[in-house]
A and B are shown apart, each in its own frame.
Chain A
Amino acid sequence: MIEPNMIPNLDPNPLPAPFWVFKVLLVVTFFLHIVAMNLMLGGAVMAIAAKWRAKDTSYGTQAFFDIARKLPSLLPATITLGVAPLLFVQVLYGQYFYTSSIIMAWPWFLILVLITLAYYGFYYVSFRSGQQPGKSGRVMWFSAILLFIVGFMFSNNFTLSQTPSRWSDKYFSDPSGWNLNLAEPTLIPRYLHFFVAAVAVGGILLVFMAMANWKRDRAYARLLLNLGGKTFMYATMAQMVVGLIFLVTLPRDMRMLFMGDNALATALLLVGVVGGIAAIFLMADALRKENLRVAGYLVPGILGVVILSMSIMRDILRDAYLKPWFRPEQFTVQTQWSVFPLFLVVFVAGVILWFVMLARFGLLGGKRAGARATSPDSTGAKQS
């Protein structure tokens, strides 16, 4: 058992804005990060699946490269959107996060190497567009596996950060940082929860691509719609089972939070479950009727609400785990009024500029310049 004084002290600086500001920023940016991650990692899985499912048709190869060309943008989106929650988690939970990171320092540090290699793998595949995908397929596997390992490290670190009772034994058994959190009963269900969600969202990525190709190449779009839609359905069904296992492995008092003890947590779980089931039925119906509006707007919309609920639930769960040690009141607050408003201004301006950049590129619909709008030119064609 941990000695009560082993939790590191806060540093002397006050919080430069009220607690809830950081909490909102943490949850919202985590949500955005996880959506990008799901699209990226799910996309990589779907690229491999598409090649395998449709290997007898040229559509398999086409889908593989169409997805592959999006990955070098989706991975930096995941990273840049991940930097923000990484910042805000340090603001609020640094005492726990730094400690668990140090205990598993080497696996945590090696994430950087894995991401870099996976990233170059994605670029390699996207630059090989239009060639036979044999080697590209293997590289795609390689990148995807590395990123699965990265996700696993994240699950290890964040479960470890909220269970200080495990710290002491792990640290003193190996202070050189070669530890994981494998004995944690929720580790695998929690990891699978993220993994299966990524596959489901990868299916949605194919639905989006089906929409983009619907008018140009109906047969190809149908293949994408069916593969994507079905993947989404089956993955979401599997998610119900994984989620249930995750719930069961939680310590009883945490589990009960989602089953009546905490009204918000219970409501959010209900939103998640009902939303998931509704999404499955709506997608099944949309596939039968080839209703792109339902498959491409309504289902992803519901999914967004579900993922946001899950992000909030995750936060409630963290606070429940840390309840014996962590109190929001531990912080003194001294809002930095000379900087905080500046951040808000820069943030709003940045978001506007970001949308203007996408719009002027033709990425926000309307005058979209072509199917390969997000593809680098790998053939060296001359400027027209």
Chain B
Amino acid sequence: MNYPVWDVAFGAGLLMAVVAILHVFVSHFAVGGGLFLVLTERRARRNNDEALLDWLKAHTKFFVLVTVVFGAVSGVGIWFTIALISPTATSNLIHAYVWGWAIEWVFFFVEITAALLYLYGWNRLEPRLHEWYGWIYFFAAFMSLVIINGIITFMLTSGSWVKNHEFWKGFFNPTYFPSLAFRFAIALALAGIYALITASVQKDPELKARIVRWSSRWIVPCLAVLPFLGWWYIHRIPAEVWASARGPMPTGTHYAMLAVILLSVTFVLALLALARPRRIHLAFSLLVALVALGTMGSFEFVREAIRKPYVIANYLYANSLYAAETPGDGGFNADAVSSAGILPTAKWIKTRELTPANEIAAGREIFRVECASCHTPNAYRGLKHYITLRAWDRNEIDAMLTGLEFMHNNVMPPFAGTDAERAALAAYLSSLHPIPASAPVVTDGATVFAQNCSMCHQINAKDKLFRNLPKDPGTASDAMKDLTSLFPLMPHLQLTDQQRMALAQWVNAQRTAKGIAVAEPGGNEP
């Protein structure tokens, strides 16, 4: 709202994801690969293994072409991209952490220089001096991870920074150390995985086997230790945040599952390579890398997903509104925008007044400034898809927008704006998938639940719907007539008698199937 919104038809979030994932896949290699180079060089020299040394020279060239070129440019690319998509967050991160970025820049400069000198030094330096450059490279690359890790983890678990705004309090936040260990293990595993690629094109099967076996000593233990580091990491994330990846939030949950599956597949593929080290083919090594890329991408997706609704935890929402009033926020916090309205507050919109005639156009403007940082109308995270799936009409959309912040384990920011603006947004969203008045009303309980309740309610004993809804279908149906009277934050949904009855019966069936006990009446919040 403070900055103009860049309209990316296929989804700004998707562009961000592509740039970020490709970058981290290379930048972690840049860290682990540094240690790999220098330790492999030492090993080859100790064993007088000229062939291994020759391979390592070629591998260094590959390393530089991948990390110094693509890694460095795509790293700058992340800066470019986040500034285009989330300028407010970027501005905050820059001002709060500029000295962190500046320190990282020094290491980056040393890192790049050392990488080039290590490459060019192969045939002109004494072995010990050459290794010295390798160690400096690795040290600088590792230190750049040490720095950037503080800022990335700060975004997920901002710790006490939100209260005191102290640099180190945000930097050494609750997930700092587990994330550092986790990422370093990934970095070391990737060093081995990338080595498989250049190993696979070697003609000498004995050499190939030696490299594969040596690479496996990097891949296998590091992948094996990842679940434990992940467990540590997860336990430092607030339980209610991690809960997003355990069912309530589709994105977080699916990618968490995918990360586990792909990690296992990478592990198995690495073992297969080890089983037949002489015969590893280029296509196979690329497959291992591709699966590893998928694993890494899934992990980053989970981190980003469970961080929602924030871009900086407990401070700034993904749509660039401050979560609470902050001195100097310029009125761009959710409460202030709710009372003043979006159209008068947002800087970069054309429509300033809402009239019955411009309702849909104004709704589209509201969508752009409040939703488009993550959603598109009809592409990446397209709202049309969600609305179609649940067959929501305009009234239902409006009702759902009132409780946006409770959906999917609270991963959405609240709708910030006036009631009329919310209605305009609902009008625009329903125009994406208009429901004809003659459309048949859904009457089976499962679908009623899926379309109207499943965003917030989970089928388990802890869920208030399943715990507290009266067992007698008639009483239950009556209770659901006016949801907001049950609990003021419920959306004002108008289900038909038939739908309510079907839902109550279906809830009872689920209780029986899953053994969910009904709470005694009296303490009944929904």
Contact = CB atoms under 8 A, between A and B. Distances in A.
A333 B40 CA distance: 49
Contacts of A99: 3-4, 87
B122 interface: yes
Contacts of A90: 83, 90-91, 94
B134 to A, nearest CB: 12
Contacts of B132: 360
A272 interface: no
A11 B123 contact: no
Contact of A11 (B95, B101, B120, B121): B95
Interface stretch (A257-265, A289-297, A350-358): A350-358
A176 B87 contact: no
Nearest to A379: B123
Contacts of B94: 87, 90-91, 94
Contacts of B440: none
B165 interface: yes
Interface string B128-145: 010011001000000000
B84 interface: yes
B101 A172 contact: no
A336 B84 contact: no
Contacts of A101: 80, 83-84
A112 B167 contact: no
A375 B107 contact: no
B4 A103 contact: yes
B454 interface: no
A108 B69 CA distance: 19
Interface residues of B, number: 80
A115 B15 CA distance: 18
A80 B112 contact: yes
A342 interface: yes
Contacts of A12: 92, 322, 326-329
Interface in A64-116: 72-73, 76, 79-84, 86-88, 90-91, 94-95, 97-99, 101-103, 105, 108-109, 111-112, 115-116
Contact of A374 (B4, B120, B332): B120
Contacts of B119: 376
B92 A383 contact: no
Contacts of B50: 382
A347 B106 CA distance: 6
B105 A84 contact: yes
Contacts of A130: none
A274 B84 CA distance: 41
Contacts of A22: 98
B456 to A, nearest CB: 32
Interface string B75-107: 011011101100110111011101111110111
Interface string B105-123: 1111110111011011111
Contact of B112 (A76, A97, A339): A76
Contact of A105 (B9, B84, B332, B347): B84
Contacts of A336: 99, 167
B6 A177 contact: yes
Contact of B120 (A97, A119, A120, A376): A376
Contacts of B74: 112, 116
A370 B7 contact: no
B73 interface: yes
Interface stretch (A1-9, A132-140, A217-225): A1-9
A57 interface: no
A88 B99 CA distance: 10
A120 B69 contact: yes
Interface stretch (B53-61, B214-222, B286-294, B379-387): B53-61
Interface in A313-335: 332
A112 B77 contact: yes
A369 interface: yes
Q: Which 9 A-B residue pairs are closest in the complex by CB-CB distance?
A: A12-B328, A9-B330, A13-B95, A350-B106, A98-B87, A339-B99, A112-B77, A11-B91, A176-B7
Interface of A: 5-17, 22, 25, 72-73, 76, 79-84, 86-88, 90-91, 94-95, 97-99, 101-103, 105, 108-109, 111-112, 115-116, 119-120, 123, 167, 171-172, 175-177, 332, 336, 338-340, 342-343, 346-347, 350, 353-354, 357-358, 360-361, 369-370, 373-377, 380-384
25 contacts: A8-B2, A8-B347, A11-B88, A12-B92, A15-B95, A72-B116, A73-B116, A76-B68, A76-B116, A79-B72, A90-B91, A94-B91, A98-B3, A98-B91, A102-B87, A111-B80, A112-B74, A120-B69, A167-B4, A175-B7, A354-B109, A354-B113, A361-B133, A370-B124, A381-B123
Given A101-B80, A177-B8, 4 more contacts: A9-B328, A347-B106, A350-B109, A361-B133
